[in-house]
Chains A and B, each alone.
Chain A
Amino acid sequence: NAGVTQTPKFQVLKTGQSMTLQCAQDMNHEYMSWYRQDPGMGLRLIHYSVGAGITDQGEVPNGYNVSRSTTEDFPLRLLSAAPSQTSVYFCASSSTGTPTDYEQYFGPGTRLTVT
């Protein structure tokens, strides 16, 4: 299993541009989520999904959209990039069917810079 994969690894955007961060998992997990991590800080939840077609907002959802059309994929869309969205973005997946219930598996992250 590849686990949780994210693309791209690095991205530079200009203010006002839009883009989609990709996230995929091959573990058949029901739950997927997006976090952002700013320098020297912990992760903050942006959006999450408890299954295909079901998404909900986390702690910092403004400026981001998500959709979940398949179990495997959970893309994060930045509608109009702002410098405040410069951060490292992590995608995670989890399932109550894992040996350790509720353990979240994180991807390697996407480092985004908005100029």
Chain B
Amino acid sequence: LAKTTQPISMDSYEGQEVNITCSHNNIATNDYITWYQQFPSQGPRFIIQGYKTKVTNEVASLFIPADRKSSTLSLPRVSLSDTAVYYCLVGGRGFGTGFQKLVFGTGTRLLVSP
């Protein structure tokens, strides 16, 4: 499973756009890139997943360049409630099953201030 590198922490203010970049130089051809969010004392929550180019949902956007060696999670107009730890994960889709083994790093601790 490919290892990921992301900043340990980031600070932002309410209303700003936040971009968290993740490096995954050893990503394999069948690997997908997934981001999870975790609040204190809670389990992680899925944010977004993509394979290449750009994926957008109601919460975030995920930008993946052509070489797929990095990805950027973009959170538009953050609020105080976006303060959390964000994990970038890379993994294949099951190799014959539908289970995706997730390898969590230490994540990026985002602090949003008023």
Contacts and interface: CB of A to CB of B under 8 A. Distances in A.
Majority SS at the chain B contact face: loop
23 contacts: A31-B97, A31-B98, A35-B104, A42-B87, A44-B104, A45-B101, A45-B103, A48-B101, A50-B99, A59-B103, A90-B43, A94-B100, A95-B98, A96-B98, A101-B98, A102-B49, A102-B93, A102-B94, A102-B100, A104-B100, A106-B45, A109-B41, A109-B43
Interface of B: 32, 34, 41-46, 49, 87, 93-94, 97-107
Contacts of B107: 42
Nearest to A51: B97
A92 B43 contact: yes
Interface of A: 4, 30-31, 33, 35, 40-45, 48, 50, 58-59, 90, 92, 94-96, 100-109
Contacts of B102: 43, 45, 104
Best-buried of A42, A90, A105 by chain B (most CB within 10 Å): A42
